[in-house]
């Protein structure tokens, strides 16, 4: 892979992406950063079952992030705690290149819903930067169960205000 800025593209998830997502989400460094992943991120049966449900649910929009033609990760729009929310996950080889920030920018431009929310474990500085660079601001704090840690963990709630970008 070349170094330097990469402009990611988004496309629907295809079957062959799943093996890549699994490796990316089983990475303990990434799982520690995200905090709220599954208890056993390297359990492929659990992963496959979860993704089968995600892909079958018409209320969710999940897209693959491509960087230089490679599967860099995914980005998702889904209801969380009753409000429209986003989340994302990149393989570690793609971190710190602006890919998540650019992928979120592209993704939210295509989602008319406002406000739009995201929840981030306190301490996940990279994810907070991705959100704030895209206009999200913190509006609250909560606690959620982190299966991997077996305890409640503090999280911050971020919100993107504004009007439907497709309106007018
Ligand atoms: C969080 C994540 C998506 C960030 O992806 P990324 O492509 O590295 O993000 P970007 O390159 O767009 O960087 C955004 C900012 O975060 C900073 N950053 C990136 N990784 C960082 C880290 N480990 N620690 C602190 N800051 C970090 C970058 O320097 C950049 O800051 P800047 O805007 O001041 O230049 C990625 O680390 C990831 O997938 N982590 C595991 C899953 C996860 O935590 N998902 C989010 C759950 S809420």
Note if the bond before 152 is cis, omega within 30 degrees. Answer: no
Ordered by start, the domain boundaries in the chain are 9-167
| Ligand 1 contact via 6 beta carbon (within 6 Å) | no
Query: What Rg do the C-alpha atoms of the chain give, in angstroms?
Result: 15
CA 167 – ligand 1 centroid, Å: 30
110-113: long-range contacts (C-beta < 8 A, 24 or more apart)? 111/61, 111/77, 111/84, 111/86, 112/164, 112/165, 112/166, 112/167, 113/77, 113/84, 113/164
| Ligand 1 contact via 146 beta carbon (within 6 Å) | no
Mean pLDDT computed over 145-166 = 91
Give pLDDT, residue 4.
Answer: 60
Q: What is the pLDDT of residues 104-143, one digit of tens each?
A: 999 999 999 999 999 999 999 999 999 999 999 999 999 9
| Ligand 1 contact via 120 beta carbon (within 6 Å) | yes
Give the C-alpha distances (Å, rounded to integers) separating 161 from 130, 158, 164: 16, 10, 9
pLDDT at 164 over 80: no
**What single DSSP character describes residue 153?**
E
Give the C-alpha distances (Å, rounded to integers) separating 10 from 19, 33, 69, 139, 154: 18, 23, 10, 28, 31
Give pLDDT, residue 28.
Answer: 96
State pTM to two decimals. 0.94
Of 3-7, 9-13, 91-95, 124-128, the poorest mean pLDDT is in 3-7
Q: Does domain 9-167 have CATH number 3.20.20.120?
A: no
CA-closest residue to ligand 1 atom 14: 130
Element (H or E) spanning 159, and its range?
Answer: strand 151-160
pLDDT at 83 over 60: yes
Mean pLDDT for the chain overall? 94
């Amino acid at each position: 892979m070349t170094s330097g800025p990469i402009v990611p593209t988004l496309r629907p998830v295809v079957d062959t992406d799943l093996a890549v997502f699994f490796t990316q989400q089983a990475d303990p460094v990434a799982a520690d950063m995200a905090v709220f992943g599954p208890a056993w991120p390297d359990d492929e049966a659990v992963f496959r079952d979860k993704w089968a449900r995600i892909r079958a649910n018409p209320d969710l929009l999940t897209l693959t992030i491509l960087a230089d033609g490679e599967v860099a990760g995914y980005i998702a729009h889904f209801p969380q705690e009753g409000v429209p929310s986003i989340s994302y996950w990149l393989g570690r080889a793609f971190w710190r290149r602006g890919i998540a920030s650019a992928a979120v920018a592209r993704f939210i431009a295509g989602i008319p819903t406002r406000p739009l929310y995201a929840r981030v474990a306190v301490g996940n500085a990279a994810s907070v930067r991705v959100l704030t660079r895209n206009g999200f601001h913190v509006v609250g704090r909560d606690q959620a169960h982190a299966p991997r840690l077996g305890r409640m963990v503090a999280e911050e709630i971020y919100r993107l205000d504004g009007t439907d970008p497709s309106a007018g």
